[in-house]
A and B are shown apart, each in its own frame.
Chain A
Amino acid sequence: MSEITNTFITLEEMEAATNRLLETAQKVGADTWQQRAKNQTPHCKFGEEGICCRICTMGPCRITPKAPRGICGCDRDGIVGRNYLKFTAGGAATHSDHGRSIAHTLYLAREDGDYKVTDAEKLKRIAKEWDIETEGRDIYDIAHEVAEVGLLEYGKPFGVQRFLKRAPEVRQKKWHDAEIEPRAIDREVSQSLHMTHMGCSSKAEALVRQSLRAGMSDGWGGSMMGTELSDVLFGTPKPVDTNANLGVMEEDMVNIVVHGHDPSLSEMVVFYAQDPEMVALAKEMGAKGINVCGVCCTANEVAMRHGIPMAGNFLSQENVVLTGACEAIVVDVQCIFPALGPLSKCFHTKFITTSPIAQMPDSEYIEFHEENAGANAKKIVEMAVRNFQNRNKELVHIPQLKTNATVGYSVEAIKKCLDGVTNSHVDEIGTLKPLVDAVRSGVLRGAVALVGCNNPRVRPDYSHIELMKKLIANDIICVVSGCSAQAAAKSGLLSKEAKNLCGEGLKRVCELVDIPPVLHMGSCVDISRMMVLVADLAKDWTEEIDISDLPVVGCAPEYMSEKAVSIGNYVVSTGITTFLGVNPYTKGGPGVEQWLQHDVEDWVGAHFEVELDMDKMCNRMMEVIEEKRTKLNI
């Protein structure tokens, strides 16, 4: 890693670096997403508008003015609504299954095993929340029972998700009245797929309502499980300094890039990369050592717990291989381009898949289980280290772009930071009240949660970065996660120096609390942290208010995945109006859009807004924040 870090890196500089890497791609005859996106344009109009139905073999049916209904008689809103619900169910299933796998890992944790309980306090807190006895019990007994109770949330026959109780009562009542309290997680996913089967629901209202409920089973169910139990296993994040952008790769070291979402594997890879035996082997191979860096949400997970540098986000995944300096790209699940297989063949890079859930051609498959985690991780690290000598030095080019970032602002960490600005004579500690005060007084106007992926439909990272810059300049604090967080990191917005881009109010808050103006809250499952944050914020308001009253909005300007749509549904359900920068394949169904973008407001006090123009979107977000302030009379 070069010694020099850049305070801020512009999008143009990043694009220039990418262009230089694309030259390498051309030289080695590699295929890249930039080219494939071109090949796929123009996209299918029917698909884009969501009015293509292929859930039975009578079709495919597609809606045109001449053919306004499918063969079964389903209209455009029925088709769009079903597609939307299926999309949501896919996302909810994905996040929730991630959460389930973490719960399994916790169940296997033991004192002398590969996986241990790191945050016993948090474990006990969750146990108490779930009425599990903690007094006088062995911590691993508690862990196993918590894991089991957590796993039962996926299939319990009766009742609703346990974590819902974390919300203010008024919000819980809204969920109940709107009939969107999620029951067992798997049940919501199954019911969604049932509803979208041929000959079931075609009523927009019902499909949208189930979309919200399936989303809720993710955000207040599976994702929250993933977040909470990951903290128990690997530690609750607290502020840690790291670096970001492609310059974190080291020319003279073995570079192992971890990519995906599930921290169980990457935690082990990080551990064995520090193993003296492995380091010695690396030196034997002629490298100075072993450098682990991350891409996508796995990067977020290991960055916020170990300060592992972040090489890039979703659309940077091919870039790390194109540097020619990547010995291995080790992946677990989600958001992994199958393209990495053929791409890695153009270099010495080992593309190592590890999960039965994400198996791909042209990869080395080392199946990873919680039971054999250590041994397999070591094997993977060794494979990477031995591969160093196969590097083609002529192809190596690492763009010298590297920023500083402070990451790891879990809700617990944010409260701890805020304790720093309390006065022991006047205030209580361990609350969000200082944040409430800063917002109430007007020093901060509000907050925006920026989340979601990159998408070639949008100039990569542009929306994330430009929105954040404009928001912080207007005294609006940003909380970020997932690929949005990495866009911020790559550009320097997660550094404390970014206070200089802020309005006076936010700048002062950053100086006093000693935080960056854009707070990294983790990976995409960690959007559940944001839900806890707003719930606590509403509860810490002078007199408890509803989450939908807060001057807070959500935003996914460049999202692409099913998970993101599921997230959108639970964020809106939680009472936070959410802005999308890409249309969720609903344009062909005005009835569905009416529900999503307007009428759900009556159920949950929030709605979706789709705006493809970033300037307009930003102004509209600030407008909503000011409207909320006016309603609160602040």
Chain B
Amino acid sequence: MGLFQTVFRGSDEMYFKAEEELNAVIAELGEDAPMQMPDTAYFLACIYAYLGIKVTTLGELKTALGEIRKMMTRENKTASIFDSGVATAMAAEVIEACKYARTPTPYENTQYHGHFSDAEVRELGVPLVTRDIPGFVVMIGPAPSVEEAVETVKGYQSRGIFVFMIGGIIDQVHSAGMTTGFNVRAVAVGPDIWAVGHVISLVCRATFIFGATQPGDAAAFHEYTFKRIFAFVNAYKPVADIVVACGAGAIKMGFPVITNEDRDMTWPVPKSLIIYPNTKDWIETSLEARDIKIKVTNIDIPVAFSSAFEGEIIRKKDMRIEMDGSRVDCVELVRTREAHEIEDHSITVEGPDFDAFPVGAKIPIAYIVEVAGKSMQTDFEGVFERKFHSFLNCIEGVMHTGQRDMIRIRVSNASFDAGFRARHIGEVLYAKIKSEYDTVVDKCQVKIYTDPEKVKELRAEANHTFDVRDERLKSMTDESVDVFYTCILCQAFSPSHVCIVTPERLGLCGAVSWLDAKATNELDPNGPCQIVPKSRMIDERTGRYEDVNEAVNKYSHGALEQVTLYSIMEDPMTSCGCFECICGIEPLSNGVVIVNREHVGMTPMGMSFSELASMTGGGVQTPGFMGHGKHFIASKKFIKAEGGLARIVWLPKALKEQIADRLNESAKELYGIDDFTSMIADETVCTEDPEELLNFLTEVGHPVLGMDPLM
């Protein structure tokens, strides 16, 4: 009886709180007052997901709450505690929503994060797929001690587990000076248990975005979360009834709950509700409960190494030393050597080490990773090199940006004090190259230089290598290669999406180029990247191939029958949901608008990134909308069927600047237009009025005005 009655009591408690909050806010603002969560296209995502109701006003929220109450049945059956549990989470969403009805920023100037934006949800896509984030933990209540709270959160971080904190544990970690935030994957969600509504909202939106799940199809949401979202809950005692009720919802979603609550208060349920007093052992216990296996990379460095630190920012005041390619000579390079030229795991440092420089110094550095292997190809050098950024960023207290000879690396005071030195960069690069590319790299050594003269010399040498590589890349077109590749890395999350990766069209996440796909295929011939021959072309204009259609059909398990490579209107390629950019047609100008994930504002299409993005994703084909990588924008194959990149009429300013050089170059080559980017509008020209956009285009004489109508 115990467990069931506890859930029922707790779900009542949450419901009555929601009712009270909602009545109060309605009394204040009226039923017609708008109800909108910021930066999301999914309304109140839990309610939208499980009930299919689009809440846009407080009155509608009231109706929804009525539906939520109906789910809270009171039978002595598991179905009843499951439904009541899910309804409890939805009631929590209502309570939190009431705060947002009053202001879009209720948590401003607090230590809490509150609502997650769609952009944040999408940002999780790639790391979830690559298992860089192997799972999520929701930690509720205060840990037995501050030390243990910090230790446990850090323990999760070091394993790459994304941490959501609710309640007492937040004060604990903050009192110990710990930094929290989305970028370090440890988020202080909110002070009260109803903050869990934000986490479930994020889970629901991940399911919408990556699973192409339909609103109101509760069964499909549960199936997706159970099978594909590796979350779990750590609830410290005392666990109130209301927490147990949320736990029932979590368990329904497939997320086990680990607690130290006493056995006479509740009763364990195998693999679902685990009662374990030894809180210090919760991390491994929890991972086992959710079947999460951590890829262990044991690297001999004095600080932690985890994807949790990938987004960490080192501010100048916390910085011990900096390697800045814009001021001094810096370079990173991979080169292929003969096996006999390499002594495996040799790491050498030539020149003074970090401790030889004063605090805050800008120092030169070159690190040359030399590899050998029977299946190694020089084409892979660049592929490995692109990964350095993420490898080095995973080091606690180290920040890396840029690439090639334009890099910047900062080492924090804390990490320096912990003993982090130049050779540890080598240890990390060695370990990661050997573990990730073990089928092509047999031997690897790293040479690090800090001597200015030597670095200068190496930089010049490397630049020659880069030039050769760029020439080869430039010459590499869709026509010049024999095969394309599939990429179905995302199918763990988006089961019916297939990317077709070509030299001129990289994967929509921006992380998989044709060379990456090629390397992935060589590394794991049965893996996510499969060879697609391109012998049977159907239509050159749209990039339609029989082979490609067969491949998408096969790898989407029949969900998708045909795609084109170069058209946004005719069977455009689908999206998983992790796309860097979304492109949509703007009917008034006959052009296309592109917006990247980072951009939060409106577009002249009257939709934000989130709203545009919700039009596609999850492997669904939506003509007129297409997700893609940033690099694809300057490609000569970009919507070639519709006239190419001359259709681009609007880009967020930051994105435009990022790709300006390549875009201008392509435009010049294709259309003979100089400084094409100056003809493209951005948010400084117009935000959401298409008339303003059209006026601007006319003014600058944008080529789109002379093109055929899109529809």
**B1 in the interface (beta carbon within 8 A):** yes
Given A504-B82, A634-B1, also A441-B288 (CB < 8 A): no
State which residues 418-460 of A face B: CB under 8 Å: 418, 421-426, 434, 437-438, 440-443, 445
**B281 in the interface (beta carbon within 8 A):** yes
Docked-complex contact A425 and B268, CB < 8 angstroms: no
Given A442-B78, A443-B78, A475-B78, also A423-B4 (CB < 8 A): no
* Chain B, residue nearest A434 (CB): B270
Given A423-B285, A443-B78, A474-B77, also A512-B270 (CB < 8 A): yes
- In the complex, which of the residues A425, A443, A512, A634 contacts B284, with contact meaning CB atoms closer than 8 Å? A425
Per-residue CB contact flags for chain B residues 243-272 toward chain A (1 = under 8 Å, else 0) read 000000001100000000000001111111
Measured between C-beta atoms, what is the minimum distance from B256 to chain A in Å? 9
Docked-complex contact A423 and B271, CB < 8 angstroms: yes
Docked-complex contact A426 and B82, CB < 8 angstroms: no
**B107 in the interface (beta carbon within 8 A):** no
Per-residue CB contact flags for chain A residues 604-634 toward chain B (1 = under 8 Å, else 0) read 0000000000000000000000100000011
Docked-complex contact A504 and B76, CB < 8 angstroms: no
Complex: how many Å from CA A505 to CA B270? Answer: 12
**A503 in the interface (beta carbon within 8 A):** yes
Q: Which B residues touch A511, using CB under 8 A? A: 226
- In the complex, which of the residues A424, A437, A508, A626 contacts B268, with contact meaning CB atoms closer than 8 Å? A437
Given A423-B274, A425-B281, A426-B274, also A437-B79 (CB < 8 A): no
Complex: how many Å from CA A438 to CA B268? Answer: 8
Complex: how many Å from CA A424 to CA B76? Answer: 30
Q: Which B residues touch A503, using CB under 8 A? A: 77-79
Given A425-B288, A426-B274, also A441-B77 (CB < 8 A): no
Given A423-B274, A442-B1, A442-B76, also A437-B284 (CB < 8 A): no
Docked-complex contact B1 and A441, CB < 8 angstroms: no
**B273 in the interface (beta carbon within 8 A):** yes
Complex: how many Å from CA A506 to CA B226? Answer: 15
Docked-complex contact B272 and A512, CB < 8 angstroms: yes
- In the complex, which of the residues B2, B272, B275, B276 contacts A508, with contact meaning CB atoms closer than 8 Å? B272
Counting chain B residues whose Cβ lies within 8 A of the other chain, the interface size class is 20 to 34
- In the complex, which of the residues B76, B82, B269 contacts A438, with contact meaning CB atoms closer than 8 Å? B269
- In the complex, which of the residues B76, B82, B269, B288 contacts A437, with contact meaning CB atoms closer than 8 Å? B269
Complex: how many Å from CA A418 to CA B274? Answer: 15
Total CB contacts across the A-B interface at under 8 A: 75
Complex: how many Å from CA A423 to CA B289? Answer: 6
Docked-complex contact B289 and A441, CB < 8 angstroms: no
Docked-complex contact B77 and A504, CB < 8 angstroms: yes
* Chain B, residue nearest A626 (CB): B76
Given A437-B269, A442-B4, A443-B269, also A425-B285 (CB < 8 A): yes
Per-residue CB contact flags for chain A residues 511-522 toward chain B (1 = under 8 Å, else 0) read 111000000000
Measured between C-beta atoms, what is the minimum distance from B290 to chain A in Å? 10
Q: Which A residues touch B79, using CB under 8 A? A: 503-505
Complex: how many Å from CA A438 to CA B78? Answer: 11
Q: How many residues of A are in contact with the other chain, CB < 8 A?
A: 29
Docked-complex contact B268 and A441, CB < 8 angstroms: yes
State which residues 520-563 of A face B: CB under 8 Å: none
**B146 in the interface (beta carbon within 8 A):** no
Measured between C-beta atoms, what is the minimum distance from A325 to chain B in Å? 35
Measured between C-beta atoms, what is the minimum distance from A400 to chain B in Å? 25
Per-residue CB contact flags for chain B residues 423-467 toward chain A (1 = under 8 Å, else 0) read 000000000000000000000000000000000000000000000
Q: Which B residues touch A437, using CB under 8 A? A: 267-270
Complex: how many Å from CA A511 to CA B274? Answer: 17
**B129 in the interface (beta carbon within 8 A):** no
* Chain B, residue nearest A506 (CB): B78
Complex: how many Å from CA A475 to CA B288? Answer: 26
**B119 in the interface (beta carbon within 8 A):** no
Complex: how many Å from CA A421 to CA B76? Answer: 23
Docked-complex contact B274 and A438, CB < 8 angstroms: no
Measured between C-beta atoms, what is the minimum distance from B254 to chain A in Å? 9
Complex: how many Å from CA A511 to CA B285? Answer: 20
**B559 in the interface (beta carbon within 8 A):** no
Docked-complex contact B267 and A505, CB < 8 angstroms: no
Measured between C-beta atoms, what is the minimum distance from A136 to chain B in Å? 39
Q: Which A residues touch B281, using CB under 8 A? A: 425
* Chain A, residue nearest B273 (CB): A441
State which residues 167-192 of B face A: CB under 8 Å: none
Measured between C-beta atoms, what is the minimum distance from A94 to chain B in Å? 39
Complex: how many Å from CA A440 to CA B285? Answer: 22
**B121 in the interface (beta carbon within 8 A):** no
Given A504-B82, A505-B77, also A441-B3 (CB < 8 A): yes
Docked-complex contact A441 and B269, CB < 8 angstroms: yes
Docked-complex contact A426 and B276, CB < 8 angstroms: yes
Q: Which B residues touch A422, using CB under 8 A? A: 270
Q: Which A residues touch B278, using CB under 8 A? A: 425
Complex: how many Å from CA A508 to CA B270? Answer: 10
Measured between C-beta atoms, what is the minimum distance from B583 to chain A in Å? 40
Complex: how many Å from CA A437 to CA B273? Answer: 10
Q: Which A residues touch B267, using CB under 8 A? A: 437, 440-441, 634
Measured between C-beta atoms, what is the minimum distance from A344 to chain B in Å? 47
Complex: how many Å from CA A437 to CA B263? Answer: 11
Docked-complex contact A633 and B1, CB < 8 angstroms: yes
Complex: how many Å from CA A442 to CA B82? Answer: 12
Q: Which B residues touch A418, using CB under 8 A? A: 270
Given A423-B285, A425-B285, also A438-B3 (CB < 8 A): no
Measured between C-beta atoms, what is the minimum distance from A473 to chain B in Å? 10
Complex: how many Å from CA A480 to CA B272? Answer: 27
Complex: how many Å from CA A480 to CA B288? Answer: 32
State which residues 438-494 of A face B: CB under 8 Å: 438, 440-443, 445, 474-475
Complex: how many Å from CA A130 to CA B78? Answer: 43
Per-residue CB contact flags for chain B residues 70-91 toward chain A (1 = under 8 Å, else 0) read 0000001111001000000000
Measured between C-beta atoms, what is the minimum distance from B409 to chain A in Å? 39
* Chain B, residue nearest A542 (CB): B263
Docked-complex contact B77 and A421, CB < 8 angstroms: no
Docked-complex contact B288 and A424, CB < 8 angstroms: yes
Complex: how many Å from CA A535 to CA B79? Answer: 29
Docked-complex contact B276 and A425, CB < 8 angstroms: yes
Give the one of B251, B269, B270, B288 with max A CB within 10 A: B270
Q: Which A residues touch B270, using CB under 8 A? A: 418, 421-422, 434, 437-438, 509, 512-513
* Chain A, residue nearest B79 (CB): A504
Docked-complex contact A426 and B4, CB < 8 angstroms: no
Measured between C-beta atoms, what is the minimum distance from A603 to chain B in Å? 30
Q: Which B residues touch A505, using CB under 8 A? A: 77-79
Complex: how many Å from CA A634 to CA B2? Answer: 7
* Chain A, residue nearest B5 (CB): A442
Complex: how many Å from CA A263 to CA B2? Answer: 47
Complex: how many Å from CA A441 to CA B82? Answer: 13
Complex: how many Å from CA A504 to CA B226? Answer: 13
Measured between C-beta atoms, what is the minimum distance from A372 to chain B in Å? 49
Q: Which A residues touch B4, using CB under 8 A? A: 442
Measured between C-beta atoms, what is the minimum distance from B263 to chain A in Å? 9
Q: Which A residues touch B252, using CB under 8 A? A: 504
28 A–B contacts, CB within 8 A, in A order: A423-B274, A423-B276, A424-B288, A425-B285, A437-B267, A437-B268, A437-B270, A438-B269, A438-B270, A440-B267, A441-B266, A441-B268, A441-B269, A442-B1, A442-B3, A442-B4, A443-B269, A475-B77, A504-B77, A504-B79, A505-B77, A509-B270, A511-B226, A512-B271, A512-B272, A513-B270, A633-B1, A634-B267
Contact residues of B with A, CB < 8 Å? Answer: 1-4, 76-79, 82, 226, 251-252, 266-276, 278, 281, 284-285, 288-289
Contact residues of A with B, CB < 8 Å? Answer: 418, 421-426, 434, 437-438, 440-443, 445, 474-475, 503-506, 508-509, 511-513, 626, 633-634
Supplied contacts A426-B274, A441-B267, A506-B78, 15 more A-B pairs, CB within 8 Å: A421-B271, A422-B270, A425-B281, A425-B285, A425-B288, A442-B3, A442-B76, A442-B78, A443-B272, A474-B77, A504-B77, A504-B79, A504-B252, A511-B226, A513-B270
Closest 3 CB pairs of A and B: A505-B78, A504-B79, A434-B270
